[in-house]
Amino acid sequence: MGSSTKASAEVHGYPKEYVCVMRLHGRVSESELEWGLTQFIGEFYQTPPIRANVARRVRKRVLYEAEVSEIEGRDILLRLVVSGGTYVRKLCHDLGVLLGVGGHMLELRRTRIGPRTEKEAVRLFELQHALREFREKRDEQSLRRVIRPIEDLLEYLPRVVILDSAVDSICHGAPLARPGIAGIEPGFQRGDSIGIYTLKGEIVAVGIALKSAEEILRGEGLAVKTDRVFMARGTYPPSWGRGKSKAS
């Protein structure tokens, strides 16, 4: 439970796909609507709505995709892919303002977060049934079908694979240095979130890249700053102090 909670911060930052119904307060043509959506494609600035759990300051967000799926009178069915932290209801309001007629969001449904779609979602009664099977029959199979490992949740992140000898130091919050790295997924840049994995594919921690993947491969020194640790200390034996003589 604790590790899953730590991973929620990464999930929050994943791109998300929504289907929403927006009601315009006046009529516009389909071409005007399409034009309005193009004005938000890419990076745009958004102030959170009044009723929000964050400070109301201007933030930079990204609209990756926008599609008009259906129009019925002043009700518009939209498919949107946005960056984490985007308020779709505020986007609907701002689009209405841009079109000069006003608008608001009527309904919202999230259909994807990162690589995970709603087809992979588990209903509460399925979880309840699996838990009952485990308690009554000690059968883990049902639980294993509905409870996925944390590695599945974080597979969207680029990964760095580390040697067994480096695992416990990362579990204690130490930064990752080049000698402890066994393999690197190419393409990430300095400042990106990175998954730190064992040779067996177990998640150890999430860190912040101090260099790009190419710079890490070419150089030495520190490579990743450890941010959130998921693996318990002592899971892998520590290598600290090995080969050193004991003090007299």
* Gap between the Cα atoms of 142 and 129, Å rounded: 8
Is 175 in contact with 243 (CB distance < 8 Å)? Answer: no
Quickly state the pLDDT bin for 240 (edges 50, 70, 90): low
Tokens of 99: 């079109």
What's residue 246's pLDDT?
39
* More confident of the two residues 91 and 149: 91
Q: Residue 35 pLDDT > 80, yes or no?
A: yes
What's residue 2's pLDDT?
57
Quickly state the pLDDT bin for 3 (edges 50, 70, 90): low
SS3 210: coil
SS3 19: strand
Quickly state the pLDDT bin for 153 (edges 50, 70, 90): confident
Q: Residue 55 pLDDT > 90, yes or no?
A: no
Quickly state the pLDDT bin for 224 (edges 50, 70, 90): very high
Kindly report the average pLDDT of the chain as a whole number: 89
Identify the CATH number of the domain defined by range 151-229.
Answer: 2.30.130.10
Q: Residue 166 pLDDT > 90, yes or no?
A: yes
Start-end ranges of CATH 2.30.130.10 in the chain? 151-229
Quickly state the pLDDT bin for 25 (edges 50, 70, 90): very high
Query: What is the value of pTM for the model shown?
Result: 0.74
Q: Residue 243 pLDDT > 80, yes or no?
A: no
Percent of the chain exceeding pLDDT 90 equals 66
What's residue 141's pLDDT?
84
Start-end ranges of CATH 3.30.70.3190 in the chain? 14-118
Q: Which CATH architecture has domain 14-118?
A: 2-Layer Sandwich (3.30)
Measured in residues, the chain has a length of 248
Cβ neighbours, 10 Å, residue 110: 14
* More confident of the two residues 23 and 148: 23
